[in-house]
């Protein structure tokens, strides 16, 4: 090999290495965490329906011509963020029913966030447990369910001593391994050793596998979704695994739900969120695959 040929070969090898190196790093880059929350709520829209005390009239079948407040109302303070200890913290007053919703839709992801309860409660839940939720695979118009408050979706329930429970929203449905409803309990409970059960209205609520709530503390909530399979994880423990996420369209056809926006509910209770982070996932992590066998 002459000197010129050796130089060309060395240059070619260097070029190939330069192109190959980013490819080797691609998986770590794809899985990098991305922050969603800032003090301007840049990545979100706001939808509000009714004030809590107005919901009472709706519940009694007397809406009195009420119309939802609507999308991004000027001056709203139901959802607001401020910097605390050098990081943004979201406050949800709960006074109005509605949601903070991502402008972007997501699929094949791991979302994580921390939350803790505030002190305030509002009608119609003054004597009820503090309640909220994270709605995922969200799509379509707002106000299709529950007093015109939210969009078609699936719910990761956020409620005192029931973190990670499941509710359908509108015409959504899903399957999970669950034990039949027991005396004294209001719904079937997720059980990884039980048979698969369909959850579709009116059988639209399932209890978490265990109570992982830490009252008065920041609680870590993780949502892992690959296509139509999702896991609810609370303070590091899987409390529910679900598959076959779907919804029924106007023609009665079942349509798979493999991604969508994230909604964060305002539902008559004050709460705080911080550390909104999301990352793409190429596949279901091996540690969770067993839940879908």
Can you give the CATH number for the domain in which 176 is found?
2.60.120.560
Q: From CA 204, how far away is CA 288, in angstroms rounded? A: 24
pLDDT beyond 60 at 153: yes
Q: From CA 106, how far away is CA 86, in angstroms rounded? A: 27
Predicted local distance difference test score (pLDDT) of residue 64: 64
Query: pTM of the prediction?
Result: 0.88
Q: Are strands 219-226 and 229-234 parallel, antiparallel or unpaired?
A: antiparallel
Is residue 278 in a domain? yes
Give the residue from 226, 232, 172 showing the smallest Cα distance to 199: 172
Is residue 185 in a domain? yes
Predicted local distance difference test score (pLDDT) of residue 53: 87
Is residue 195 in a domain? yes
Q: How many CB atoms lie within 10 A of CB 80?
A: 15
Is residue 45 in a domain? yes
> If DSSP states are collapsed to H, E and C, what string results for the chain?
CCHHHHHHHHHHHHHHHHHHHHHHHHHHHHCCCEECCCCCCCCEEEEEEEEHHHHHHHHCCCCCCCCCCEECCCCCCCEEEEEECCEEEEEECCCEEEEEEECCCECCEEEEEEEEEEEEECCCCCCCCCEEEEEEEEECCCCCECCCCECEEEEEEEECCCCCCEEEECCEEEEEEEECCCCCCCCCEECCCCCEEEEECCECEEECCCCCCCCCCCEEEEEEEECCEEEEEECCEEEEEEEEEEEECCCCCEEECCCEEEEEEECCEEEEEEEEEEEECCCCCHHHHHHHC
Higher pLDDT, 61 or 158: 158
Task: Share the mean pLDDT of the chain.
Answer: 90
Give the confidence band of 9 by pLDDT, cuts at 50, 70, 90. Answer: very low
Higher pLDDT, 54 or 122: 122
pLDDT in tens, 95-119: 999 999 999 999 999 999 999 999 9
Is residue 93 in a domain? yes
Domain of 169? 32-283
Predicted local distance difference test score (pLDDT) of residue 290: 95
Is residue 1 in a domain? no
10 Å CB burial of residue 234 (0-12, 13-18, 19+) is buried
Predicted local distance difference test score (pLDDT) of residue 26: 39
- pLDDT over 90 percentage in the chain: 82
When pLDDT is averaged across residues 150-159 and rounded to a whole number, the result is: 98
Is residue 16 in a domain? no
Rounded to the nearest 5°, which phi and psi values hold at 59?
A: -60, -35
Predicted local distance difference test score (pLDDT) of residue 11: 41
pLDDT beyond 70 at 163: yes
Predicted local distance difference test score (pLDDT) of residue 69: 95
pLDDT in tens, 248-290: 999 999 999 999 999 999 999 999 999 999 999 999 999 999 9
Pair 130, 142: CB distance under 8 Å = no
Q: From CA 97, how far away is CA 79, in angstroms rounded? A: 11
Total domains, the chain: 1
**Which residues lie across from 248 on neighbouring strands?**
254
Token digits of residue 143: 């106000």
Is residue 11 in a domain? no
């Amino acid at each position: 090999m002459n000197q010129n040929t050796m130089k060309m070969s060395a240059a070619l090898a260097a070029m190939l290495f330069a192109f190959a190196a980013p490819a080797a790093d691609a998986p770590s880059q794809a899985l990098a965490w991305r922050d969603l929350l800032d003090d301007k709520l840049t990545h979100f829209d706001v939808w509000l329906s009714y004030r809590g005390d107005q919901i009472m009239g709706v519940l009694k079948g007397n809406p009195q011509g009420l119309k939802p407040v609507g999308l991004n109302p000027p001056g709203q303070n139901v959802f607001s963020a401020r910097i605390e200890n050098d990081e943004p913290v979201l406050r949800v007053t709960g006074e109005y029913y509605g949601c903070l919703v991502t402008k972007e839709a997501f699929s094949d992801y791991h979302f994580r966030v921390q939350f803790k309860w505030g002190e305030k409660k509002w009608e119609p839940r003054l004597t009820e447990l503090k309640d909220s939720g994270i709605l995922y695979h969200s799509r379509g118009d707002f106000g299709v369910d529950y007093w015109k408050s939210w969009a078609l979706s699936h719910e990761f329930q956020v409620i005192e001593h029931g973190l990670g429970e499941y509710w359908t929203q509108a015409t959504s449905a899903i399957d999970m391994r669950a034990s039949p409803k027991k005396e004294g309990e209001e719904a079937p409970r997720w059980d990884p050793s039980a048979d698969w059960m369909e959850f579709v209205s009116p059988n639209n609520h399932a209890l978490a596998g265990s109570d992982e709530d830490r009252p008065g503390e920041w609680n870590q909530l993780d949502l892992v979704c690959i296509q139509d399979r999702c896991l609810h994880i609370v303070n590091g423990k899987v409390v529910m695994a679900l598959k076959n996420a779907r919804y029924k369209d106007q023609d009665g056809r079942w349509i798979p739900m493999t991604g969508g926006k994230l909604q964060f509910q305002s539902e008559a209770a004050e709460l705080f969120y911080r550390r909104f982070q999301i990352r793409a996932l190429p596949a279901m992590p091996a540690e969770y695959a067993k839940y879908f066998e």
